Amino acid sequence: MTDKPTNTLTEEQAAAEAAKLRPQLLAWGKQYYDADAPSVEDDVYDRVYARLVALEEAFPAIVTPESPTQRVGGSVRGDLPKVAHTIPMLSLGDVFSLAELSEFNDRLRANVDEDFDYNCELKIDGLAISLRYENGKFVQGSTRGNGQIGEDITANLKMIPSIPQTLSRPLTIDVRGECYMPKAAFLALNERREAAGQAPFANPRNAAAGSLRQLDTQVTADRQLATFMYNIADYEPLNTRTQSGLLDELAELGFTTNPAYRVAHTMDEVWAYIDTYQAQRSNLPYGIDGIVIKANSLPLQRAIGATVKVPRWAIAYKFPPEEVQTVVENIEWTVGRTGIVTPTAVMDPVVLAGSTVARASLHNPDYLQAKDIRLGDTVLLHKAGDIIPEISQVVGDKRPADAEVYPIPTRCPSCGAELVHLDEEVALRCINPNCPAQLAEGMNHFASRNAMNIAGLGPQIVAQLFARKLVTNVASLYRLTTDQLLTLDKFGEKSAQNLLTAIDNSRNNSLERLLFGLGIRHVGAKAARSLAANFGDLNSLMAADSETIAAIDTIGGIIADSVVTYFDSEPVQALMKELATVGVNLTYTSGPSEPVDPLGTFANQRVVLTGKLNELTRPEATTWLEQHGATVTGSVSKKTDLLIAGEAAGSKLTKAQSLNIPIWDEAQLLAAMNENK
C-alpha cells in the first residue's frame, strides 16, 4: 500500500494498487469473520480498507464485483443452516477523525431538507445478530452473514439469558443487535483454553462469534454471552418513531438495550459524547471499539435509504488504537499445574490504558514464532479487547543488528524434563508428574477456596515449603509441624498455629472438594460434586469404569475418560492411600447418602432455583430439596419440573413461563417445608 494521494495517480496505477489490496483484505476478512481468528489488528485492516475505498471512489471504473467494498460481513458456513434476511442486514461506514465525521454530517444535511437530531450509541465489539418473533414468541435467530443470507443459530441464541423467549406484547418483528462476551467472561474463557492447551481467542468479539457458531449448544451456554439490541427491520409495529424511543420500547418488550445512548442536537454534542466514552472505554464491563451516530428520526432513516452496503443515515466513528512502544528485555517460561509451559514477555514498564504494564503473555510457541519476537526488540503494545496486554507487532526498523531468532525450549525450566506436544495441542507441556513447578501450582489449587479451602496457604508460602523441602505433595501438608512452619519467613507461633488449624479442618471436607482440589483434567467444581454424590466414596469412584461414570447426568465421555485415566496412574493411587493415611475424608458428606423422603413431593423432579430468597439461603434450599427427592439443576429446559423464583428473578423465570413450567415463590417452598417436617 502506498501513501500517495489518489489525485496524483493514474487510473492504471490505482487499478494496480487496488488489485494488490483486494486479495489481502479478503484473506484478512475470512480470518476475522469466518474463522474467528484474525491475524492482524483491527486498525491495520481498517487502514488498508480505507485506502481501497479511496482508490475506488476516485476511480469508479476500477471497482470489481468481488471487491471487499461490495460485500457485507463474512461468508456463510456450510455446516449451519442458511437464513435469508427479508430486509438486508447492512454494515456501517467508518470514519476515523473529527474532519471525516464533519464531512459525513455536511453530506447528510445537504441532502435532507429538514433539521434533525442524532442519536449517539456505543459501538459494541461483538457479532451482529437478528431475532425473529412471531406473535411475541422467539422463533428464529441468525447471524448477519453476507448481509443477504446469514446462519441459523436459533438453538445457540436460546442459551443466552438476555434474549427473551416471549415478548411483553404479541408482536411479529425482526430485531437486530449485537451479541458480545463480557470482559470477565472472556478472561475466564481464555484461562480455561490455555489450561487445556488450546489457543486463546484474540479478543472478546471473536470469542463471542466462535461461541455462537458452535454446533454444540452446551458450549454456547457455558460461555456467558450477553446481548444489546438496537435496531428493528421494520418499525411500523412499534409505537415509537425515533431511534432513542426505539431503544426504550425494545427494553419494555423485554430486550436488553444499552442505556448509554444520548440524543445530540449539534456536532459539538456528538463530539463531546465521543470524548466521554473514549475516556471511559477501559472501565466498561464490555468491549467497545467506537461510537455509532444515527439520524434519530426513523421515518427520516427510511427516506434517506442506503447504498448496496451501508445506510446513508448512520456512521461509525472508530476509536484510534491505543498503542505504546516498549522494549522486550526478557522472555520467561512458567509451568502451570497441568504442565503447560507458557512464555511471557518482560518489557520496560509503560503506561497503557490507565495502568502500568511490564508483562504480556505470548501464549504458546506458535504465537511467539508467528510474531517473531526477539530479545531487545521494540514492540507495539495494546490491550486486546481493552483487557489483556498484548504485543501487536515488532517495530522492524528498531530491531538490534545482533538480535537472534528466539529459541523455543526443549526442556522444562523447572525440572529439566523433555517438553512435548500432546494431541496436536499448540501448547508445550512438561509431563513429569514430579515436576516441582507443577506440584507447587497443584498445591495452590488444592488449597484454593473452592477446593480444600485452606485459609492462609498462598503461593508464597507454598513456594517456601517446596524450597525448604518441607512438602513433596498435597498429602504431606497434613504432616507439617509447628517447628517446621516457624522456619518460614515472617512466621510466628500464632501464624503457624492458624495455618495448622486450617489444614487440620480441611481433613473433614466432603469428597467433592477433594476431587476438585486434585486438579483432574476437565473436572470442575460441579462435575466433582456430581461424581462424589453419585459414588459416595473415593474407592467406589476409583473402581468405576468409563461407561459407568459417563452415564451420570452432566458428566459425559470426556470427563469420564479423564477420571479413569487419572486414577489408573500408580503415583495417583499411591497419593490416594497417603491421603487416607493422614486422615483426609474420602466420602461424600455434603448431603445424606439417601434422601429423607425419596417418595415425597419432589421425588424424581428436576427443580431450578432463581432470584433472591429472603428466608433461606440458596444452599439451604438446595439441600432440603435434594433430601426430599429433587434433582436441583442450574438451567431451565423442557425437562424442568418446577422453578422456584425469588425476588429479581430474570431470564430463567421468563424461559420457564415460555415453557409453561410450574412456578413457585419462596412462600410456597416454605409451606412445603413446613408440611414435610
Q: Which amino acids are annotated catalytic?
A: 123
Separation of alpha carbons 169 and 256, rounded Å: 16
Residue 283, SS3 per DSSP: helix
**Do the beta carbons of residue 167 and residue 253 sit within 8 Å?**
yes
**Do the beta carbons of residue 173 and residue 234 sit within 8 Å?**
yes
Beta strands per DSSP E along 309-369: 314-318, 324-335, 340-352, 355-361
Block residue for cell numbers 480470518: 31
Separation of alpha carbons 145 and 147, rounded Å: 5
> How crowded is residue 540: how many other Cβ atoms within 10 Å of its Cβ?
15
**Do the beta carbons of residue 648 and residue 622 sit within 8 Å?**
no
> Measuring CA to CA, which residue among 461, 460, 441 is closest to residue 451?
441
Sequence-distant (6+) residues with CB within 8 A of 310 are: 90, 91, 92, 93
**Do the beta carbons of residue 298 and residue 241 sit within 8 Å?**
yes
Sequence-distant (6+) residues with CB within 8 A of 596 are: 627, 628
> Measuring CA to CA, which residue among 215, 134, 116 is closest to residue 172?
134
Give 483: exposed, middle or buried? Use CB within 10 Å, 0-12, 13-18, 19+. Answer: exposed
Separation of alpha carbons 435 and 420, rounded Å: 14
Residue 231, SS3 per DSSP: strand
Helices in 518-588 by DSSP H: which ranges?
A: 525-535, 538-543, 546-550, 556-567, 570-581
Block residue for cell numbers 472501565: 283
* Total residue count of the chain as it appears in this document: 677
**Do the beta carbons of residue 198 and residue 190 sit within 8 Å?**
no
> Measuring CA to CA, which residue among 474, 475, 472, 415 is closest to residue 442?
474
> Measuring CA to CA, which residue among 62, 50, 132, 153 is closest to residue 96?
50
**Do the beta carbons of residue 80 and residue 153 sit within 8 Å?**
yes
Give the Å distances, CA to CA, from 346 to 330, 331, 359, 395, 501: 5, 6, 5, 17, 39
Buried-state track 385-421, b at ≥16 Cβ within 10 A, e below 16:
bbbbbbbbbbeeeeeeeeeeebeeeeebebeebebee
Block residue for cell numbers 439490541: 229
Give the Å distances, CA to CA, from 622 to 152, 282, 360: 37, 38, 42
* 323's grid cell: 498503542
Give 552: exposed, middle or buried? Use CB within 10 Å, 0-12, 13-18, 19+. Answer: middle
Residue 316, SS3 per DSSP: strand
Residue 648, SS3 per DSSP: coil
Give 263: exposed, middle or buried? Use CB within 10 Å, 0-12, 13-18, 19+. Answer: middle
